[in-house]
Structure 1
Amino acid sequence: MASVTLSPSAAARVAAIAAKQNVAPILRLSVEGGGCAGFQYKFGLADAADADDIVAETDGVTLVVDPVSMDLVGGSQVDFVSNLGGASFQVSNPHAASGCGCGTSFSV
C-alpha cells in the first residue's frame, strides 16, 4: 500500500500549532467530496490515530490518514508553503488529474 509523507516544514508547522493549543502533534488528512474540482483535502488536529489509520511520522509529528482517503492520496506529500499569497498546507498528489487554482481541491 502506498504511503503518504509529511515534509519537515509541515511537521514544524503542526508542532507549533499543537504546542500553542497544548495538544498532541497529530495531523489528520482526509478527503471529502466537494470543492471546485470534485474532491477536497481536509486538515485537522487529531487526539489519536484510529485503529485502521495509516500513520507516518516526521520529526516527532504524526500524520494519520483513513483508509478510504488513502486510496485518493497514497504516494502524496503534505507540505507547508508560505509565500506572498499566504501560508497553507499543500498536498503533492500523484493521483490528481487536475486541481483548482487555490490548491485545496482536485479531481482523479
Structure 2
Amino acid sequence: MAVEAFDPTQSTVSVTPAAIEHFRRQLDQKPDAQAVRLSVKESGCTGFMYVVDLVDQAKDSDLRHPLAEGLDLFIDRDSLKVVTGTEIDFVTEGVNRQLKFLNPNAQDHCGCGESFSVN
C-alpha cells in the first residue's frame, strides 16, 4: 500500500475538535476500524454527497491527514478537487447532532441537505 502523507503546506480539509471527538467515539464502537475516510460520490438532485467511512486501512490512492494522536483521516484523491478547503464540524442543533461540511467549493445545496454542486 502506498498511501501518500498529508502535506501541511497544502490546505485540504480541516476538522474541528468536536468532529475529532465524534470520530473517536465512532471508532471506539467499531474496533476493526482504524481511521476515517472521506470521499464524495455523485448523488442526489444537485450532484454530489459526502461519504464518511470508518475503515481499517487506506486505499492506495488516499492521502493521509493525521488529525490527532492515533487518529487519521484518509482523503480520496479523486475527491480532492471537490473537498479542498472544507471544514468538517460536529454540531448540536436542538436535539439533533450531525457532521457539517463547510465547503467553499459548494455552490448549491438541495433542500434536504443531502447533496451539493460545485463549479
Q: Into which bin does the TM-score normalised by the smaller protein fall?
A: 0.7 to 0.9
Distance, in Å, in 2 between the alignment partners of 1:71 and 1:107 is: 12
Residue 73 of structure 1: aligned partner? 83
**1:8: Cα distance to partner?**
0.9
How many aligned positions are there?
108
Give the match's secondary structure for 2:29. helix
Q: Which amino acid aligns with 2:86?
A: S
Contact 1:19–1:25, Cα closer than 8 Å, also in 2: no
Distance, in Å, in 1 between the alignment partners of 2:82 and 2:93 is: 27
**1:13: Cα distance to partner?**
0.6
Q: Which runs of 5+ in 1 are unaligned?
A: none
Q: Which runs of 5+ in 2 are unaligned?
A: 1-9
Give the TM-score normalised by structure 2.
0.79
Contact 1:8–1:59, Cα closer than 8 Å, also in 2: no
More strand by share: 2
Which of 96, 103, 106 is equivalent to 2:113? 103
**1:67: Cα distance to partner?**
1.0
Matching of residues 51-66 of structure 1 within 5 Å: 51-60=60-69, 61-66=71-76
Give the TM-score normalised by structure 1.
0.86
**1:74: Cα distance to partner?**
0.7
Question: Based on CA coordinates, which of the two structures has the bigger radius of gyration?
Answer: 2
